Chain A
């Protein structure tokens, strides 16, 4: 158990809908990272927050947004969902902002029908 929690574990929704994925980092970790894992694209970095502020941005679509709250938990919002958004979404956390030693959560499996 990495100490990173993600909810929900599974999510089934329809195209065009909006969902929110939640992540609680390990105690003491200030950075939260979001990743998308799909069969065709592999593990792709989406976005990083450090102590409430956006730190780095990867291949995140404009339909997706994220934030980190004062208690350091983070939410990833996915809107106008498409079939291709079906994937595993992982949250990771680390103590510092340098992307090293990241601890991954168990993931949220999103299925868009």
Chain B
């Protein structure tokens, strides 16, 4: 119940295309869903985040779509660029109190071909 399942494991997209990464969760107590971007040799960086009372959030070319009933959320990268090539992690906050933590998905390696 504390897992966040992420797919696909890897993704190749042409420049200008749309990249879509999906995540699913079981625990309905999760209350905060961020996406992190990680370049090789660097730490993860917060990209965008959403709460379950909102169905969509857009920041520039990045959009989170959230489906509370299906317990799924996804990251859409519009007009994908080679500079977007990185590993993307979804996460969910849960546990509550002293066990509150971010639970990360397994990551998606995105390659945007020029």
Partner-B contacts on A (CB < 8 A)? 2, 4, 42-45, 48, 55-58, 90, 92, 98-107
- Say yes or no: A105-B101 contact (C-beta < 8 A), given A42-B106, A42-B107, A99-B93: no
Q: How far is the CB of A52 from chain B (nearest CB, A)?
A: 16
B95 touches A106 (CB 8 A): no
B73: interface (CB < 8 Å): no
Among residues 22 to 51 in chain B, which have CB atoms less than 8 Å away from a CB atom of chain A? 32, 34, 36, 41-46, 49
Q: Is the CB of A56 within 8 A of B99?
A: yes
- CB-based contact A45/B102 at 8 Å: yes
- Pick the contact of A100 from B43, B44, B49, B97 — CB < 8 Å? B49
Contact, CB under 8 Å: A104 / B101: no
Residue of A nearest to B49 (CB): A100
Does A99 contact B49, Cβ atoms closer than 8 Å?
no
User: Does residue B66 face the partner (Cβ distance < 8 Å to A)?
Assistant: no
- CB pair A43–B104 under 8 Å, yes or no, is yes
Determine if B95 and A42 form an interchain contact, defined as CB atoms under 8 angstroms apart: no
Q: Are B32 and A100 in contact (CB under 8 A)?
A: yes
Inter-chain contacts of B95 with A (CB < 8 A) = 56
Question: Using a CB-CB cutoff of 8 Å, which residues 71-114 of chain B contact chain A?
Answer: 89, 93, 95, 97-107
Distance in angstroms from A103 CB to nearest chain B CB is 7
Given contacts A45-B103, A56-B101, contact A99 B32 (CB under 8 A): yes
Inter-chain contact B44/A43, CB cutoff 8 Å: yes
Contact A90 B93 (CB under 8 A): no
Q: Are A104's CB and B44's CB within 8 A?
A: yes
* Given A55-B98, A99-B32, 7 further pairs, Cβ under 8 A: A56-B95, A56-B98, A56-B100, A56-B101, A58-B99, A101-B49, A107-B43
Complex CA distance for A42 and B44, rounded to whole angstroms: 12
Contact partner of B42 (CB less than 8 A), chosen from A43, A98, A106, is: A106
CB pair A106 B43 closer than 8 Å: yes
The 8 Å CB contact of A58, one of B41, B46, B101, B105, is B101
Decide if B45 touches A99 in the complex (CB within 8 Å): no
- Which residues of chain B come closer than 8 Å to A56, judged between CB atoms? 95, 97-101
